[in-house]
Amino acid sequence: MSDTYIVCAACGARIRADRDRCLRCGEMLQAAETPAAPPSLAEWLRSSNPRHLVVGAVASLGILVGAVLWTESPSTTTSVAHPVATSTKPAASPVAVPGQPLAPGDLIAPATTADSVRLASAAFTSGDFETAKIRYQQALEKKADDPEALNGLGLVLERQGQLDDAVKQLERAAAAAPETWKYRFNLAHALGERGNWDRAIDEYRAASGIFPDDYATRYNLALAIHKKGDDEAAIPEFRKAITLAPREPSFHLSLGISLEKTGKIDEAQREYQQYLEMAPWAADADKLKDHLKALSSGAPGSGKTPSTP
């Protein structure tokens, strides 16, 4: 198993080097790309109390995005699966007027659903979410149950903060193609963003069943279980993610947090130390070192009995 990564030229995702296609956008990966630098992990280590550590929410898993959370823009924990990016350029648009949103009629609808989806994907990849939204809506006018258009529209709505509407579209995409990994993964991420951890866990499990070797899906599943508050159940899922991607520092940090919260202090210390050895450049390295000293000293409030932040 490769523990090096390359950057997808189409969407910028950081993907494990042994994959042929980008898991976020579906484009072929080029082995010649420069390996990606490790991401900043400051968001994974937060402390409302200097003596207690808590992990931040996946945002999509933002991590890596071997999956696509991960949000995908890539979020900090879960990378959300984005539609396939293409080099196709959208049709000419009218000059935008500040404060005046585009209307569906402002863009000429392509002849086919597939063309609308390709143009929408290109707009989404470029960050033009309003145009992408219109293009996906045009695609759905031609074919109301097209899963790729439903998935894309859901991602746009999620990016725009319309979580309830995003979940509705992503649910329709997953129902239309229940065996497609990215639709289940993206639905799980949106549910997590809405705080619906029980359903998010169910969808991550479904996605993991479709793509069992994907470390990002497994990690997002573990994070969702952690966010629900069941660290005992999260621990084995974090361990599975580490087995799939042993060189990911944040996986060890997250496992350490769950171990500490369940009172397994010695094991937590080992995972924290592993994290520091793998990511000495981490922004929170000094804070974690201080926390390790407190745990080792056994001082009152050092974390021997973790409490919920």
Tell me how far apart the alpha carbons of residues 261 and 284 are, in angstroms, rounded to a whole number. 19
pLDDT in the model for residue 48: 30
Are residues 248 and 293 both part of a single domain? Answer: yes
Are residues 49 and 9 both part of a single domain? Answer: no
How does strand 14-16 pair with strand 46-49?
Answer: unpaired
Are residues 306 and 203 both part of a single domain? Answer: yes
Are residues 30 and 85 both part of a single domain? Answer: no
* SS3 call for 61: strand
pLDDT in the model for residue 60: 36
Lookup: tokens for 230: 């069941």
Strand partners, 78: 61
pLDDT in the model for residue 202: 98
Q: How many structural domains compose the chain?
A: 3
Tell me how far apart the alpha carbons of residues 263 and 308 are, in angstroms, rounded to a whole number. 12
Residue-range definition of the domain harbouring residue 136:
81-177
pLDDT in the model for residue 3: 52
pLDDT in the model for residue 103: 52
Are residues 201 and 293 both part of a single domain? Answer: yes
Are residues 224 and 286 both part of a single domain? Answer: yes
Count Cβ atoms within 10 A of the Cβ of residue 4 and give its class: 0-12 exposed, 13-18 middle, 19 or more buried.
exposed
pLDDT in the model for residue 288: 95
Asked if the structure places residue 75 within a domain, the reply is no
Asked if the structure places residue 110 within a domain, the reply is yes
pLDDT in the model for residue 113: 85
pLDDT in the model for residue 22: 66
* Domain end among 145, 177, 209: 177
* Of the candidates 84, 55, 82, the residue with the CA atom closest to the CA atom of residue 67: 82
Are residues 119 and 89 both part of a single domain? Answer: yes
pLDDT beneath 70: ranges in the chain? 1-18, 21-107, 109, 111, 299-309
pLDDT in the model for residue 85: 28
User: Around Cβ 87, how many Cβ atoms within 10 Å?
Assistant: 9
pLDDT in the model for residue 5: 63
pLDDT in the model for residue 70: 32
Are residues 211 and 288 both part of a single domain? Answer: yes
Are residues 227 and 287 both part of a single domain? Answer: yes
pLDDT in the model for residue 167: 97
User: Around Cβ 52, how many Cβ atoms within 10 Å?
Assistant: 19
pLDDT in the model for residue 170: 98
Say how many residues make up the chain.
Answer: 309
